[in-house]
Amino acid sequence: MKCTNKKLSTKQKELRIRKIRKTVFLILFFLIALLLGTLALLLFSRMGTLREPMAYNRSLRMSGTVAKEGALLEEGIARNLCVGESNTPMDGIESREGEAAGLFDLQDKEILFSQNLHEKISPGNVNQLMAALTAYEALNPEDSVTIEPDDVVGRRQGTSCGLAAGNVVTVQQLLNAVLVYSADDACYALARAAAGDREAFVEQMNQKAQELGMTNTVFANVTGAEDENQYTTVYDLYLLFHQLLEYPDLIHAMGLTSYTMNSTKANGDLKQHLLDTDNPYMTGSLSVPKGVTVLGGKFMSAKEQYATALLVQNNYGDAFVLIVFRADSEETMNTRIWEMMEKVNS
């Protein structure tokens, strides 16, 4: 009997230990489940704002939107575009009479600020962005172009990157000269290579504008030289910038602070042309708020034409287009751009 009682006591101890282990396991299981559930709720509630800053990468291909005006584009296209009024005020950005301006959020597809969005403006050298886009789509960047006399620009005729008749240069180098230095002679060479002559190339530029929905834009020349028959709008320039986002090579070139163009002379000698950007935001001459990176664009401050069109990126990698035209001074224009940039990271 004593032996039997002792064996039963041992079994009871083993059962008790098993019960304790099961109880501890269940308690731990429920604690872990509760912790995971709480964490999941926190993440879900903060999903819209919980983002880590993304390191800037100029080669990043950004996409997601173009500007929208319902009356201009078909519904099937317009559904992916920004929505906004011709005049949209925003706290912290001062509106000035006569200015045409816009701040476009490509990530959330919004027009955050706008003024005279659809009024006609003279594009100036910003239309060289369309020239570069049109040439890029028509030509092979690795092809060579021989410069002809009609391509050459004298000192008082426009901006020259130093090309001379007989020089041989690649399409990519000409594109870089346009995007970095706003070189008129490079524009002429690209136009001839792509369409045979400048007039035919301008037709191609206007055709491309219509394809992009730029219905309030007409180009009259390749370089952006003043012409009463040439005009665009802030909204249409927004459409142009969005299309440029499809081509990382063009965005990269827009962001260069300088570029060395190599060409071959008629006698076979190599010639180098050092081109510094004409955009003070790329050189650092004009500062930007912390967390904002300028990817490129065009800047004009001459002959009483003050205009800036920029593609920028904030600390999270979101892209924005900032445009100011018809400012009454360079100081006013720069102030307006700064005000817009401060909204990019807010």
131/222 same-domain check: yes
96/119 same-domain check: yes
Tokens 């570069």, located at residue: 132
90/22 same-domain check: no
Tokens 């920029």, located at residue: 310
Q: Which residues of the chain have pLDDT under 50?
A: 1-6, 44-79
| Residue 23 belongs to some domain of the structure | yes
| Residue 152 belongs to some domain of the structure | no
What's the sign of the alpha-carbon dihedral 226, 232, 238, 240?
negative
| Residue 167 belongs to some domain of the structure | no
Per-residue pLDDT, 67 = 32
213/315 same-domain check: yes
| Residue 343 belongs to some domain of the structure | yes
Q: How many domains does the chain have?
A: 2
19/135 same-domain check: no
Q: Edge-to-edge, what's the strand order for the sheet holding 168-170?
A: 144-146, 168-170, 258-264, 270-276
| Residue 85 belongs to some domain of the structure | yes
Amino acid 286 reads: L
| Contact predicate 230/127, CB 8 Å | yes
What's the CATH number where 107 sits?
3.40.710.10
Helices 198-211 + 127-138 axis angle, to 10: 100
31/92 same-domain check: no
Per-residue pLDDT, 21 = 74
Using CB atoms within 10 Å of the CB of residue 26, give its burial: 0 to 12 exposed, 13 to 18 middle, 19+ buried: exposed
Joined together, the tokens standing for residue 326 give 């018809």
| Residue 227 belongs to some domain of the structure | yes
Per-residue pLDDT, 4 = 47
Per-residue pLDDT, 259 = 95
38/103 same-domain check: no
Per-residue pLDDT, 83 = 62
| Residue 265 belongs to some domain of the structure | no
Joined together, the tokens standing for residue 43 give 């993440």
| Residue 344 belongs to some domain of the structure | yes
| Contact predicate 280/202, CB 8 Å | no
| Contact predicate 138/159, CB 8 Å | no
35/95 same-domain check: no
224/119 same-domain check: yes
Phi, psi values for residue 324, rounded to 5°: -135, 125
* ∠ CA 326-330-336, rounded to 5°: 70
| Contact predicate 254/313, CB 8 Å | no
Q: How many CA atoms lie within 13 A of 48 on its CB side?
A: 2
Joined together, the tokens standing for residue 167 give 């020089």
37/64 same-domain check: no
Per-residue pLDDT, 23 = 75
| Contact predicate 106/242, CB 8 Å | yes
Domain of residue 288 covers 57-139+199-260+275-346
Report d(CA 74, CA 146) in Å as an integer.
42
63/29 same-domain check: no
100/18 same-domain check: no
Per-residue pLDDT, 27 = 79
